[in-house]
Amino acid sequence: MEKTTHIAVVPSPGFSHLIPILEFSKRLVHLHRDFHVTFIIPSLESPPPSSIAYLQNLPSNIQSIFLPPISKQDLPQDSHLAIQIQVTVTKSLPSLWNELKSLNSRSPLAAIVSDSFASEVLGFAKELNALSFLYYPSNASMLSFCLYLPTLHEEISGEFRDVPEPIQIPGCLPLQGSDLPDPVENRSNEYYKMFLQRSKRWLSTVDGLLVNSFKEMEEVAIRTFTQKESSYPPVYPVGPITRAGSDSEENGSECLKWLENQPPNSVLYVSFGSGGTLSQEQINELAFGLELSGQRFLWVLRAPSKSVNAAYLGSTNQNPLDFLPEGFFERTKQQGFVIPSWAPQISILSHSSIGGFLCHCGWNSILESVQKGVPIIAWPLYAEQKMNAVLLTDGLKVALRPKVNENGIVEREEIAKLVESLMEGEKSEAIRKRMKDLKIAAANAVKEDGSSTTTLSQVALRWKTLNGVQ
């Protein structure tokens, strides 16, 4: 009988953190059927229905366990979202340890794999004689920044945003301080301290880092990790890993029917991911900008919020359509389609009538857009999304980025101009060509002999070897 290699996987709370590491696990067991994966899932309050639904119909060699949920009352009040996620994981560590010990006693673990917010759990790996691996759901450039942050912390005093010249990070494009990720905006707050501490932990305790990117997309950043003088743990590019197949549901079928009646490459898809929200003022400007552009659009709209990531750990009961400018529906009924809160993104991006994607620059959405060959308007909101926008616009040149005014608002004229530029004209043609080339490279990376498939096989062999399987 073939011996099974057993690994434990620990995501952090939040649906958009569960998807990437679960999709990675599905890819692993699809390519290497002698693996068994146990998911151990911390949650804040009760697990969201979206997470429970997503865990249905998993392959038989992936199992999931929800840990006892942590109450919001036990978290620091009014703290940053990232701190809430991190504290949820920290408070779940005793029950995580019990589950890991129990699993290991029945079937020894070859590795513990966590996502970036759950990396505290990797401290248990040595006690269980298992390898510790981090699955990094974002890109190699951002991972390089994380690993280089302890050096930047020592080299630069004061706030990064006040540094006059671009900041140099190995393997990355030069970055303005204002485009660095949210956690480093204010060096005196808890969020920065947590982020820095996590970067140091990865450098000192992790046996390997899996990154959801591929060599052909981020050649320079990935090469940085493999240089002889690198002091980083081994980095394995295994992407692009995204949700596979169709995700259409009943409440998305209406917009798909509408797309059927639109010309090829004529519709701009507008969505800010599973957590992004806009202010009322910005919703108004976006609505008028789309109308002014004269281009067709399909817009996934959320109720407004002063926080840019208000929808990340839950949604409101408000009807988003109530917040559109007066008369907008009537004026744009021939031009656009607005869908509240959620849409079947993969089905939409796959549709022949979609010609562009106004996107918040979350890495999942970027990879889905690349795999479908859809050019982007890069509109970053939070986390590492500004860095991602720089990669898309200045590095890969497959996106346009809007300018914001002194109040941080993208005005309607700017929106209309960018939408027209992306959807038609010379600039549009050049962007489409580059995105088409990137789409081909993404498909090649995950073929049987592709760069990412080969890399994942190297990781699997490393885990099997530890487990006594050759």
Catalytic (active-site) positions? 17, 115
Do 45 and 26 contact (CB within 8 A), yes or no?
Answer: no
CA–chain centroid gap for 106, Å, is 34
Do 382 and 305 contact (CB within 8 A), yes or no?
Answer: no
Do 226 and 249 contact (CB within 8 A), yes or no?
Answer: no
Distances (CA, A) of 451 to 24, 92, 367: 15, 36, 16
β-strand partners of 298: 269, 337
Give the three-class secondary structure for 243.
coil
> 150: cis peptide before it, omega within 30°?
no
Do 240 and 367 contact (CB within 8 A), yes or no?
Answer: yes
Do 105 and 85 contact (CB within 8 A), yes or no?
Answer: no
Q: How far apart are CA 101 and CA 77, in angstroms?
A: 32
* Element (DSSP H or E) covering residue 46: none
- Among left, alpha and beta (phi > 0; psi -120 to 50; other), residue 57 is left
Beta strand 131-136 pairing with 208-211: parallel
Distances (CA, A) of 179 to 213, 231, 286: 20, 26, 22
Burial 354-379 (b: 16+ CB within 10 A, else e): bbbbbbbbbbbbbbbbbbbbbbbbbb
Q: How far apart are CA 110 and CA 272, in angstroms?
A: 38
β-strand partners of 36: 6
Beta strand 208-211 pairing with 235-237: parallel
**DSSP notation for 143-170:** HHHHHHHHHHHHH--S-GGG-SSPBP-T
**Radius of gyration of the chain measured on its C-alpha atoms:** 22
Q: How far apart are CA 64 and CA 62, in angstroms?
A: 7
Give the three-class secondary structure for 236.
strand
